Amino acid sequence: MTIKVYGSMFSTATLRVLLCLAEKDIDFELITVDLASQEHKKPHMLARNPFGQLPAFEDGDLKLFESRAIARYISRTYAGKGTDLINPDPKKAALEDVWLEVEAHKFDPVVGKLVWELCMKRFLFGQNGDEDIVNEEEKKLGSVLDVYEARLSESKYLGGDSFSLADLSHAPMTNFLMGTEMKRVFNARPHVSAWVADMLARPACVKVFGVSAY
């Protein structure tokens, strides 16, 4: 198989790449990297991602890391296949890029901490989340989602009228959090709530995550 993804189903970044491939109905091989035994820090993985993180990616002789770069590569290279994830109109694509950056810089830092406290600590160590951290990050999530609520009141998807990579990029973290008490933060905002429901009901999301439990 030409396309290989080195990752883990516990890695939201891996899931970001798997969602792209699912949206575009592209075949690939998933090579599971065992986080628990620190496999991602071993030489054979550092050779693929010098920062020792997941995922790493291969398409023939092209080797990439950083899930958002991989997602962009898949979206552009396979532009004719499956869902269009980057708008062919450059002005519309520019708006999608804005919200891709918002995901990376405003959304991800906050939801990353919450997913760690409320999901990963349980999966990996059987531990509960730190209540103080969760409370603090919940407030930040509320502020960030206020901006999303305003944006999604103007347009159905973050980049405009069509679903794009800008929306998809949020799905892995959002899916984890909708299975936790943080569900209330998303549901308190009607346009955000509708956008989440729409996105997580997409066939690609169902395929990668399973049917939404909530």
Partner 1 sequence: MAIKVYGSDFSIGTYRVLLCLAEKDIDFELVTVHLASGEHKKPHILARNPFGQIPAFEDGDIKLFESRAIAQYISRTYADKGTCLINMDPKKAALEAVWIEVEAHHFNRATTALMWELCMKQFLFGQNGDEDIVNAEEKKLVSVLDVYEARLSESKYLGGDSFSLADLSHAPMIKHLMGTEMKRVFDAQPHVSAWVADILSRPACVKVFGVPVY
- What is the nearest approach in angstroms of partner 1 to the Cβ of residue 214? 28
Stretch in the footprint of partner 1 (CB under 8 A) among 3-11, 36-44, 57-65, 129-137: 57-65
Contacting partner 1 within 114-153 (CB under 8 A) = 147, 150-151
- The DSSP 8-state label assigned to residue 26 in this structure reads -
In whole angstroms, the minimum distance from the beta carbon of 90 to partner 1 comes to 6
Instruction: Please report how close the Cβ of residue 77 comes to partner 1 at its closest, in angstroms.
Output: 6
In the complex with partner 1, which residue's Cβ is closer, 66 or 84? 66
How far apart (Å, rounded) are the C-alpha atoms in residues 172 and 166?
12
Q: Compare residues 44 and 105 and give the one whose CB is closer to partner 1.
A: 105
- Closest distance to partner 1 from the beta carbon of 65 (Å): 6
Site track 66-105 with partner 1 (rule: CB under 8 A), x = hit: x-xx--xx--xx------------xx-xxx-xx-xxx-xx
3-class SS of residue 210:
coil
Q: Binding to partner 1 by residue 47, rule CB under 8 A?
A: no
Q: How far is the CB of 141 from partner 1 (least distance, A)?
A: 14
Q: What is the size of the binding site for partner 1 (CB under 8 A)? A: 28
Which residue in 198, 12, 43 sits closest to 123, CA to CA? 12
CA angle 72, 74, 80 (to 5 degrees): 115
Closer to partner 1 by CB, 86 or 178: give it.
86
> Which of 33/100 has CB closer to partner 1?
100
Query: Which residues are bridge partners to 62 per DSSP?
Result: 59
User: What burial letters (b/e) apply to 88-117, b meaning 16+ CB within 10 Å?
Assistant: eeeebbebbbebbebbeebbbebbebbbbb
Report the C-alpha gap between 26 and 78 in whole angstroms: 9
Phi, psi (degrees; rounded to nearest 5) at 59: -130, 95
Shorter beta-carbon distance to partner 1: residue 140 or 207: 140
Q: How far is the CB of 88 from partner 1 (least distance, A)?
A: 12
Buried b / exposed e along 33-59 (16+ C-beta atoms within 10 A): bebeeebbeeeebeebbeeebbbbbbb
Residues that bind partner 1 (CB under 8 A): 50-51, 62, 64-66, 68-69, 72-73, 76-77, 90-91, 93-95, 97-98, 100-102, 104-106, 147, 150-151
